[in-house]
Every structure is written in C-alpha cells, then in structure tokens.
Amino acid sequence: MTRHHPESLSLMDYSAGNLSEPYALCIRLHLDECSLCRSRVDTLDSLGAVMMEQQPKVSVSESMFDSILARIDSSPAPQPAAKPAPKISVLQKLLGEDINNLPWKRQLGDVSVLDITEKFPGQNEQVVLQKLVSGGKAPAHTHRGTETTIVLQGAFADQNGVFNQWDFVVLTDQDEHTPVAVGCEDCITLSVLSAPVKLTGTFTRMLNPFIS
Amino acid sequence: MTTLEQQPARGEGRKDPWSQLLVKVGKSRDRQAYHSLFEHFAPQLKYYAMANGMASHAEELVQEVFVSIWRRACLYDWQKAAASTWIFTIARNQRIDMLRKMRRTSAEMHVETEDLWQIPGEDDNEPVTSLHRLMSERRVRESLKHLPEEQITVIAKVYMEQKSHQMVADELNIPLGTVKSRVRLALNKLKVILQDQNV
C-alpha cells in the first residue's frame, strides 16, 4: 500500500481529462496500485457527471439516433472479455522492454537516466526515467519548476521520508533533496519535469533529475 | 427487448433509472433502453463538447460516445459506478481521443487513450464496493446543493471547459491561490481530500 498520494487538485484535473499525457501516465500508474486514490477518482468522476447534468442541454439533430443505429448494426459488438488488458501493459507498451533492461545512460556514480520525452510527441514536459543503484546516493539538487515523480521499482529515502513503489512525489523549486536508494533493489522512478533541474552542489555541468 | 433480470434483493432499490437502462443495454441489447439513454444524455454530451471548444465536432463526439456505450455496455457493472459517471468518463476519454487523433498520426501514439484514462467499473479484479460508490454518487449530488456558487463556478470551468486553474484565475480575475482554495474547500466537502492534505 502506497503512502504518498497525488494531491486532490491533480486528481481532479485527471478526472476532468485536463492533464497532459505524461502527467496522466503518472496518475494512472499510481491508480492501478492504489485503491484509495481510485475511490477518490471515482468520486471525482461522479462530480464530473453531476456537473455535466447541471449544465444546459443542447438538442441534437433528429437523424442522429438512426445514424448511430446504422453504425452499430454494421459492425457487431465485440464480446465481453475481449477487453481487459494486463496492468503492466502501459509501461511495457510505452517502453517495449522491462524497465531493468533499458539502454540506461550512466550519469554519475550511482545514477543512470533515460530520457523518454520523445514517447510523448507534442507535449511540453520533459519525461525521464531514473535509476539509482541499490544503496546509491544522488547529489543534492533543487528543481526549476515542478517535478512529478512516481516510484516504479524499489524505494528511495530523502529528507521528506521514504518513498516506496507506486508512491507519488511532487517537488518544486523550494525543495532541495539528496535521495538515497534503500532496499535491495535498484530504485527506478519516472519523472515529469516542467522545467530542467538546477544542480546546487558541485555537479553543475550535469542535467540529472534523480538528482530529482 | 426487456428481460427479467436477477438482482441481489438489497441492491434493487439503489440502482438509479439510468443505471437500470444501461444494464438492460449490456445484458439484452435493449434498444428501447438505449434510446432512453440517448434522449437523456445526448443533449448533455453535446453541450459538453461545445463548452470545451469542440463545437464543430460536437455531434461527432455524441455519436462516438453512444457507439462506445453500445459496445462497452456488456462491461458495465452498476455496482461499481452509476451510469452517469460511467458515461461521463467515456465522454471524457472520447474527447481526449478525438483531439489526439486530430493532432497526430497513429504512428506517434505509443499508448492508447485508455491506457492513460481509466473507466470505472470495468475492472474485473476490483472488489465490489457498491455501497461506497453509490453513496459517493449520491453524496456528490447532495453536497453540491450546499456548496457556494463561487466554488461550483470554478469546478464547472475545470470539468466543462477544460480550463487550468491558472486560466480560471485569469478569467475570473482572482488570484490562483483563491481558485485553488475554492476547489479544495469543495473537494473537502466531497471527502476527496485526504486528512494529511487538508485545507
């Protein structure tokens, strides 16, 4: 059970369908593993439904229902059970690989990164996978803009606590931290950056989010 | 045509009329029920499409949503979501999907719209928490009656016009912080806010 959840306002933006794809992916990955947030989103979806119900109505053209019937008659409804896809599929689909077998780029001692921004064409954010080897430590840094992170594997700890698999973290330019990978697995995270990271220590030449 | 359904006795009273109709569509492909749903929801959906800037595709969106309702109705579980909630999420996903397809080629789409946005009540693995969910639907409707207009206005812009909190602030000429606190107050009433994230 995860202990760090997305903020209510972000869940509302998700429910309203207002998030860009990278942010929606972070929320979706969290929801898949967090029944508490699923029920929060269910309530928010109901809020959306009630909002829609309370707005004005606009009549549709007379022939529309017949055209819909014509469409459903021309292609038979698929049978149930055809639909449910396994949970891992979102990340697998996106990356085409297990997250441990990706072409990671070593940045400094303990940190590797993989920029997957190109998987989200037309979006403004930078999207980065980061790996901190078990027991490894990332240099101190702050952020420009906001960085939204979800833990995909393992766990890390910083000044704010321990973040386990599927935990959700949002850091702003006010936060400086020095994450350490805890546990016996490498810690892998997915981060969405609204602006590049700013290093505070001596590693000024590097752009490295785990460092996040 | 309508058939007799077996319902758990205690559940019958909790199912709202739209959810009953949707179950009939799913179980027995009931076209009369489908038509009733169309009469009720199509004008709402058309306004939804127009409000969020899809005026020229409004009817197309309504059609897509209804074709989708027909095809997915067999997956609908009234114990997991009310029909209106389920239909709202289909409309939301369909809007996102149409916009994505207008903007880019399928080769550029690495994930499906529904990999990112979920539909409640279609997950077989989810334990049935019907009481909780149907209460929540009713609670939302009840709570909204007591919310101040200024909070509802802000939420309506987010849901219906797809506005960011910053855009809402600019439009209403109020600080961003005020927009957020109005939303938080409303969400607090709806019990969406977790205790450690309280207002």
For residue A124, what are the domain limits?
98-199
Contact list, A85 vs chain B (CB under 8 Å): 115
A4: closest CA among A32, A28, A36? A36
Q: Which CATH number covers residue B175?
A: 1.10.10.10
Whether A172 maps to a domain, the answer reads yes
User: Is the distance from CB of A27 to CB of A10 less than 8 angstroms?
Assistant: yes
User: Is the distance from CB of B165 to CB of B179 less than 8 angstroms?
Assistant: yes
Q: How far is CA B90 from CA A58, B73, B75, B85, in A?
A: 19, 11, 12, 9
Query: For B120-172, what is each residue's pLDDT tens digit?
Result: 766 656 665 555 565 667 788 888 888 999 999 999 999 999 999 999 999 99
Where do we find the tokens 């973040």? A163
3-state secondary structure of B73: helix
Q: Which CATH number covers residue A194?
A: 2.60.120.10
Sheet with A126-132, strands from edge to edge, namely A105-108, A111-115, A126-132, A187-193, A147-153, A168-171
Query: Residue B143: closest CA among chain A residues belongs to which residue?
Result: A47
Number of domains, chain A:
1
Where do we find the tokens 């027995």? B28
Kindly report the nearest CA distance between residue A136 and chain B, in angstroms: 30
Which of B45, B67, B159 has the CB atom closest to A71's CB atom? Answer: B67
Kindly report the nearest CA distance between residue B160 and chain A, in angstroms: 7
For residue B182, what are the domain limits?
147-199
Enter the tokens of residue A159.
């000044």
Query: For A74-128, what is each residue's pLDDT tens digit?
Result: 876 565 554 555 555 788 888 888 888 899 998 877 999 999 999 988 788 899 9
As a whole number of angstroms, the longest Cα–Cα distance in chain B is: 55
User: Is the distance from CB of A151 to CB of A189 less than 8 angstroms?
Assistant: yes
Q: Please list the helix, strand and coil fractions of chain A in percent, rounded to the nearest 5, in that order.
A: 30, 25, 45
Q: Where are the beta strands (DSSP E) in B22-65?
A: none
User: Is the distance from CB of B88 to CB of A70 less than 8 angstroms?
Assistant: no
Residue type for position A64: M
Query: ipTM strictly over 0.90?
Result: no
CA distance B183 to A176: 28
Subunit contact A80:B74, Cβ cutoff 8 A = yes
Q: Which CATH number covers residue B89?
A: 1.10.1740.10
Contact list, B194 vs chain A (CB under 8 Å): 5, 8, 36, 40
Query: For A53-69, what is each residue's pLDDT tens digit?
Result: 999 999 999 999 999 99
